Structure 1
Amino acid sequence: MFSRTMLCLALSAATTPVMADTVWLKNGDRLTGKIKLFDGGKLLLETDYGGSIPLDWKKIATLESDQELLVKEDAVTGERAKSLKAAEPGKVILANGDTPRTIELAKIEQIIKPKPVIEDLTWKGNIDAALDYKRAENDTDDYDVDFKTQARHGLWRHNAEAGYNRELKDDVVTTDNWNAGYALDRFIDEKWFWQGRLAYKRDKIEDLARERTIGTGPGYQFWDNELGAFSVAGLLNRTDHEYATGEKENFYAISMRWDYNRYLVGKTIELFSTGEVGRPLDDAASYTLDAELGLRYKVTDWASLNMKAEKDVLSGSDGDVDETRYSLGFGVGW
């Protein structure tokens, strides 16, 4: 009898659905899933039957969730609610122990899940590929692949990136280069971190054939949550240049790096920008700029279309480089 009872309890536990959030719509429909975030007029609900569904905030009557969520009524202040409880249409209850508070849905600007300072392990990244074939008076083939990934474990964050670009005009190679970089961040507190960085560039066409950089310096994380992230770092770099003629030089420089991304419209659109601007310590007239700006449109949870502009500038006494490239392609993310 006891074993039969335990078997029934085990089967009941196995068949009980995972605790889900609930959203009631004004038309009477009820949806269950997991609330990911609310921003830009869209509530993103992750479901096992339809993937991530963006819901129009104006169509929602009320909602409930057993998650701890940060509810913001303006751009600065917010309240961490232990859970959300359903209320009369147009309102929701922020449950915090003995002091629950009812607020109107129309007054809520954002709902995001608070991110702990120390996490066991998080890993994200993306691969973007662009191919351009033009057949006209001048035939052009352009291949562009970019890879970027980031992993964080406790107070350590690993950043790796790589890219390859090759262009042919009438079967003549006019662009052929690749790059790779790695940065290690050690967080001092929730915002400040110290970064060490290595980077390498190889170009088989331009006069500047090889560039190696090692740098270190402090950084600041403005935010890092479900809506995106923004960080900057100031670095002291040692750079080695090797030219196609065999000539070599090295110098020290200061630079500022940035890494920005922001999700819009229920995480269906991502605006991103990364780059670095620097100046050699012994030549105030020289400077470098390596930056990109782009948009990604999510077709599925893992696939996206991307549009990107890249700028590479090297200004100095040994010659100038000023290149701008535009690409449209397909990518995968995780």
Structure 2
Amino acid sequence: MLSRTFLCVAVASACAPVFADTVWLKNGDRLTGTITVYDGGKLMLTTDYGGSIPIDMKKVKTLQSDRELLVKQGNDRKEENTVSRSIQPAEEGKVVIADGGAPETVDLASIQQIMKPRPLVQDFTWKGSADAALDFKRAQNDTDDYNLAFKTSARHGLWRHTADGEYNREKENGLTTTDNWSAEYALDRFLTDKWFWQTRFNYKHDNVEDLSRQRQIGTGPGYQFWDDELGAFSLGTLINNNRYQYSDGSSDTFYSASLKWDYNRYLIGKTFELFSTGELGKPLSGAADYSLDAEVGLRYKVTEWASLNVKYEKDLISGTKDNNDLSSSRYTAGFGVTW
């Protein structure tokens, strides 16, 4: 009998969900899974039976989680961030937050965000995206457009590695009108939880334009405004050594100062992602008046890993050799994966 009792306990423990979160709805339904984020009125619950499910918080009666979560509350007077050890169910429209002190009952309506807390020093995190846009048109003018892009970032402790690249090619009636690629690598060393020092290498190759090669090596301080489950935003100021090489064999070498930004923000329970990256540069002497390389876009997550995206890209170099302004704009829509 004793052996049977231990066996039953072991089986029951193995079958019981580990750290499962529970959401009770006002219509009487109960959902279990893992609460990943709450923002913009949408609570994202990841399940093994239906993937990620967005839930309207107005339909939630109460909820429960025994995992550590960052809960942001706000009203007209103040905002308060609490790292809860657990969130326990309460009467309709309320939850009990336990943070190590006395448990506090709060209104669900007062909660603005719920997310997993992200400490400064982490063993290893890796995230990224890869996008592809293809456009083929067969009419009076035949056109073939290709755009491939990737970006990935890995963090280990106080070090962060970022790499990205892009390839563009356009043909019209068999004639190549655009053919270029670019690659960049950056290494960041965090000095505090916000400040970091960046060293970066960037290279661009163009087979069509007069400015055929661009090489840039830069270093300088940066500031991470935030980096959490809902996105990230950082600014960096760099002093760069640049080399421009032209199709006729001539070249320019000069120093420049630049401001670089990297922004992304998840909206409506991580269903949409707004993102923008770019750099505004000013030569310290000669070569050009200024340069701008920027993109802004929107992703819609079809599944946990697949997404649709639209992007606008702007590349501008003013006052180059012979006072020519090199400017290009590009709109793309395509399919991608994120991780």
| TM-score (norm: length of structure 1) | 0.96
Q: Whole-Å Cα distance in 2 between the matches of residues 66 and 55 of structure 1?
A: 19
- Corresponding residue for residue 55 of structure 1: 55
Q: Whole-Å Cα distance in 2 between the matches of residues 105 and 284 of structure 1?
A: 58
SS at match of 1:289: strand
| Paired letter, 2:328 | E
- Corresponding residue for residue 92 of structure 2: 89
Q: From the superposition, tell whether residues 317 and 175 of structure 1 become closer, same or farther in structure 2 (CA, over 3 Å).
A: closer
Following TM superposition, by how much is the alpha carbon of 1:317 offset from its aligned partner in structure 2, in angstroms? 4.2
SS at match of 2:249: coil
| Paired letter, 1:140 | T
| Paired letter, 2:18 | V
Q: From the superposition, tell whether residues 147 and 65 of structure 1 become closer, same or farther in structure 2 (CA, over 3 Å).
A: same
Q: Verify: 1:332 aligned to 2:337, yes or no.
A: yes
Alignment of 1:232-251 (within 5 A): 232-251=235-254
Q: Whole-Å Cα distance in 2 between the matches of residues 289 and 222 of structure 1?
A: 22
CA RMSD in angstroms, aligned pairs only: 1.8
Q: Whole-Å Cα distance in 2 between the matches of residues 9 and 91 of structure 1?
A: 33
- Corresponding residue for residue 326 of structure 2: 321
- Corresponding residue for residue 310 of structure 1: 313
CA offsets per residue over residues 44-64 of structure 1, 9 Å max, x none? 111111111100000000011
- 2:218 touches 2:240 (CA, 8 Å); kept in 1? yes
Q: From the superposition, tell whether residues 76 and 161 of structure 1 become closer, same or farther in structure 2 (CA, over 3 Å).
A: farther
Alignment of 1:17-32 (within 5 A): 17-32=17-32
Q: Verify: 1:179 aligned to 2:182, yes or no.
A: yes
**Which has the larger displacement, 279-288 or 208-217?**
279-288
SS at match of 2:303: coil
Following TM superposition, by how much is the alpha carbon of 1:2 offset from its aligned partner in structure 2, in angstroms? 9.1
Q: Whole-Å Cα distance in 1 between the matches of residues 2 and 189 of structure 2?
A: 54
For 2:216, which of 194, 209, 213 is the aligned residue? Answer: 213
Q: From the superposition, tell whether residues 136 and 81 of structure 1 become closer, same or farther in structure 2 (CA, over 3 Å).
A: same
Following TM superposition, by how much is the alpha carbon of 1:332 offset from its aligned partner in structure 2, in angstroms? 0.6
For 2:271, which of 258, 268, 272 is the aligned residue? Answer: 268
Alignment of 1:214-233 (within 5 A): 214-233=217-236
SS at match of 2:184: strand
Q: Whole-Å Cα distance in 2 between the matches of residues 110 and 89 of structure 1?
A: 19
- Corresponding residue for residue 200 of structure 1: 203
**Which has the larger displacement, 52-61 or 134-143?**
134-143
- 2:252 touches 2:287 (CA, 8 Å); kept in 1? no
For 2:138, which of 135, 145, 150 is the aligned residue? Answer: 135
- 2:254 touches 2:286 (CA, 8 Å); kept in 1? no
Q: Whole-Å Cα distance in 1 between the matches of residues 190 and 116 of structure 2?
A: 21
| Paired letter, 2:43 | L
Structure 1 segments unaligned to the other structure (5+ residues) = none
Identity score, percent: 62
- Corresponding residue for residue 161 of structure 2: 158
SS at match of 1:77: strand
Give the number of aligned pairs: 334
- 2:72 touches 2:112 (CA, 8 Å); kept in 1? yes
Q: Whole-Å Cα distance in 2 between the matches of residues 170 and 96 of structure 1?
A: 66
CA offsets per residue over residues 145-164 of structure 1, 9 Å max, x none? 00100000000000000110
| Paired letter, 1:326 | Y
| Paired letter, 2:41 | G
- 2:19 touches 2:65 (CA, 8 Å); kept in 1? no
Following TM superposition, by how much is the alpha carbon of 1:14 offset from its aligned partner in structure 2, in angstroms? 3.5
Following TM superposition, by how much is the alpha carbon of 1:96 offset from its aligned partner in structure 2, in angstroms? 2.3
SS at match of 1:73: strand
CA offsets per residue over residues 58-98 of structure 1, 9 Å max, x none? 00000111112221122843222211010000011111234
Q: Whole-Å Cα distance in 2 between the matches of residues 106 and 317 of structure 1?
A: 56
Following TM superposition, by how much is the alpha carbon of 1:204 offset from its aligned partner in structure 2, in angstroms? 0.3
| Paired letter, 1:196 | T
| Paired letter, 1:329 | G
SS at match of 1:259: strand
Following TM superposition, by how much is the alpha carbon of 1:19 offset from its aligned partner in structure 2, in angstroms? 2.0
Structure 2 segments unaligned to the other structure (5+ residues) = none
Q: From the superposition, tell whether residues 165 and 109 of structure 1 become closer, same or farther in structure 2 (CA, over 3 Å).
A: same
